[in-house]
Structure 1
Amino acid sequence: MLGATATPAERRAKFRELLAGDQIVQFPGAINPINAQIIEQTGFEGVYISGGAFSAAMGLPDIGLTSLTEVADHGRNIARVTNLPTFIDADTGWGEAMNVARTIQEFEDAGISGMHLEDQVNPKRCGHLDGKEVVTAAEMSKRIAAAVKGRRDENFVISARTDSRAGEGLDAAIDRAKAYVDAGADLIFPEAMRDLSEFEKFASSVDVPILANMTEFGKSELFTTEQLANVGVKVVIYPVTTLRLAMGAIKSGLQTIRDQGTQVDLLEGMQTRADLYDTIDYAAYNDFDAAVFNFSQEGHQ
């Protein structure tokens, strides 16, 4: 009740434990706090906070229009309610080296467990669109080094995402990843891989865990966790899945209400009031309130 019981430090330590473990872990994207609660209650290992999903929820394209303050506040609201590690999209870090250092400290203060930085130029583009441009490997290495220097909690996970596969080829992308590891990256995020063999080559070429982005309608096939684990992937994210599920259902439901003049045919697919109250632990709030208002100072000096 009233938020997570695990501290931010405990959740960061858990993220490190997951990365060091033998099993592949899944981080579905949360578009809001109750979404994160459902992810935890469903049994997933972590929560991903997607910049693309947040932009879309604000009615904006994923081209770097959201500010650090907006994203940090969004992340704080989600991290507050879940005991799971939270992993957030930091885009290009909102500026140069000192900005990147501030970014990581803002996310630490927000209770986030880790973030990923990407090597695109600013303004960035969605990782599964054509026409992306990347900065030099040296410039991206500076971003990573700045993040490492700015980090105050050594368990906060810094991931380096490379979008260079499309424009420079697989071998060059792997060379970049190695440079990012040398700069201090704890996790490598190779974006828009074309098949399992590319994930496998990345995993065998770097000395830190790698992440797979299983976003729908993108460049990568939607592989199972078993397939990804077999080629060495450690973390899987599903960035926009819950947003797409929700928006698809909302659009269909609104059309039904418009056509029929009532939502009666939609009730079976809705979250019930009872399930909503269970999800947000409504009873615990009532118990807390009752305990406070039943308190009496009678007999106390």
Structure 2
Amino acid sequence: MYLEHFELQQLPFSLTPNTVFYVGLVPHQQAFEVLQTALTAGEGFIKIVGEVGTGKTLLCRKLLHSAPAHWRLAYLPDPSLSPIELRWALAAELGLHYSGNIDQQQLHQLLQRHLLLLAARQQQVILVIDEAQALPDETLETLRLLTNLETEQRKLLQVVLFAQPELDLRLAKHRFRQLRQRISFSYQLRPMTVAEVGAYVRARLQIAGNSDLRFSSLALLGLAKYSRGIPRLVNVLAHKALMLAYGRGQLHINWRHIRAAAQDTEDVPAVRFAAWVPAVFMLVTLVGAAFWHWGPL
């Protein structure tokens, strides 16, 4: 597409959650440190919550890819499971084979024996669930029961929930008070600040192979404004801006590219990047430069 034009080796703003493009900004790095601390401590439930597009799946994959050898990770990307489907999905991730002759109680006992065996081998079993807000109520209760499995020294199963804020609304209900009390570590992913958006864009361009490719200051300001600091929207807008610049034979991204990309993108606030904004920005820049050079009048 535009790789050769911008001297890039790969697409810098793909929507695929590729851990090669993980940028350790404050919100994501703090969330990752919470995960590592809680899992090392052996806590039963850990919850990472964030709005759509804030990078939960990328964090999830980074966790899967950076796990130490003694962690046995079971990953469930589709949580729309009944209680018995959840148990069988966990069993399959742990290497057990499906049998139609086993009921829920027998399966629970089989899982307990297998978890004890893995614990005896010094394996730490961690169930990672993405999009956990989609878990049915009965399946949430099954998760709580599974974390009851423990020895005198440790939990046999830890659970990490990556979810949208809807999960917190559900857990606030009285019926989930037992599960709510078991969540010992929780982190709320926030959107990126304007400065973080700039750092994010520059880091991804560097990883993609061209650290000299420039988004103007005003383009980055517009990118932060239109995306609301949400990484997925930053990627969508930046990718479209690069396409627009490529189509016009230009090598740098300015505020006009970002505005045009925003006008062509769903879920972008219906606000106008007024024509006078660049002039005001330029005036502020010139005044600031003069003050720095000459000092106060």
Place the TM-score, normalised by the shorter chain, in its bin. 0.3 to 0.5
TM-score, scaled to structure 2: 0.33
TM-score, scaled to structure 1: 0.33
Q: Where is the helix percentage greater, Structure 1 or Structure 2?
A: 2
The higher relative CO (CA closer than 8 Å, separation ≥ 6) is in 2
Kindly name which structure, 1 or 2, has the bigger radius of gyration based on alpha carbons: 2
